[in-house]
Amino acid sequence: EAQVTQNPRYLITVTGKKLTVTCSQNMNHEYMSWYRQDPGLGLRQIYYSMNVEVTDKGDVPEGYKVSRKEKRNFPLILESPSPNQTSLYFCASSSPGQGRETQYFGPGTRLLVL
Amino acid sequence: EDQVTQSPEALRLQEGESSSLNCSYTVSGLRGLFWYRQDPGKGPEFLFTLYSAGEEKEKERLKATLTKKESFLHITAPKPEDSATYLCAVQVRDNYGQNFVFGPGTRLSVLP
């Protein structure tokens, strides 16, 4: 089954404690993205990756890091989480070319930073 | 600044009562406009992509249309299972074409 998986699905942590949210896709997609979703603000893109070792900032990259060492994986790293990073996070993947950019989203990771 | 707005914020319909959701955008260069459906606690699910003004796409009770400034999602004779949040997104920028700007969504409730 074609899918995007994220782990963990729920996470409670404390300010400053480094964490990683994993994302994996099994569709051989070149593009992968991370979003955060906050009430009233909608989905905002954090980072995206065009292929292995190629990443770029989205609209809200501050406080986040990403890496793309393998095509299927795109982890999101919070080196020193702060309460304003409490949010619902989604990973998405897609392929290039008109008609193929449909993004497939993961189930989401709900993060609470105390 | 690229911006996407959606209206109304929330909409309650009786089963069978048709209506439309609006997505307005101001972007520097539109590459595509996407509609998604999102159920509570789940990731967005793709519905349609539109690329040029005048284009229309249909799927079951849903029909999406696009003009130069906005898109409409028409819902004909909705059923309770159509209840969800509907998100609109525009694909912008020329570098890799992977920058997406989402609207805040319209929360649709269809009552039996």
Instruction: Give the list of residues 6+ apart from residue A74 with CB closer than 8 angstroms, or none.
Output: A23, A24, A25, A32, A34, A49, A66, A67, A68, A91, A93
Q: What is the mean pLDDT of chain B?
A: 92
Q: Which residues of chain A have pLDDT under 50?
A: none
Tokens, residue A25: 């896709």
Whether residues B46 and A104 touch (CB distance < 8 A) is answered with: yes
Which residue is closest to B42 within chain A, CA to CA? A107
With cut-offs at 50, 70 and 90, classify the pLDDT of residue B99.
confident
Rounded to an integer, what distance in angstroms lies between the CA atom of residue B5 and that of residue B99?
17
Rounded to an integer, what distance in angstroms lies between the CA atom of residue B64 and that of residue B49?
9
Is the pLDDT assigned to residue B10 strictly greater than 70? yes
Q: Which pLDDT tens digit goes with each residue over B33-55?
A: 999 999 998 999 999 999 889 99
With cut-offs at 50, 70 and 90, classify the pLDDT of residue B93.
low
Give the model's pLDDT for residue A96.
73
Point out the least confidently predicted range of B7-21, B25-39, B73-87: B25-39
Which residue is closest to A89 within chain B, CA to CA? B43
Distances (CA, A) of A23 to A10, A54, A89: 14, 16, 11
Whether residues B96 and A50 touch (CB distance < 8 A) is answered with: yes
Tell how far CA B98 is from the center of its chain: 18
Give the model's pLDDT for residue B36.
96
A108 touches chain B (CB under 8 A): yes
Is the pLDDT assigned to residue B94 strictly greater than 60? no
Q: Report the share of chain B in percent with pLDDT over 70.
A: 95
Which residue is closest to A45 within chain B, CA to CA? B100
Give the model's pLDDT for residue A69.
96
Give the model's pLDDT for residue A26.
94
Give the model's pLDDT for residue A2.
81
Judging by DSSP bridges, how do beta strands B106-111 and B10-14 pair with one another? Answer: parallel
- Write out chain B residues lying below 8 Å of A45, CB-based: 99-101
The angle subtended at Cα A55 by Cα A52 and Cα A56, nearest 5°, is 165
Instruction: Give the list of residues 6+ apart from residue A39 with CB closer than 8 angstroms, or none.
Output: none
Give the model's pLDDT for residue B27.
83
Backbone angles phi, psi at A104, to 5 degrees: -105, 125
Give the model's pLDDT for residue B91.
85
Across the beta sheet with B56-59, the strand order is B3-7, B19-26, B70-75, B62-66, B56-59
Is the pLDDT assigned to residue B96 strictly greater than 70? no
Q: What is the mean pLDDT of chain A?
A: 93
Give the model's pLDDT for residue B89.
93
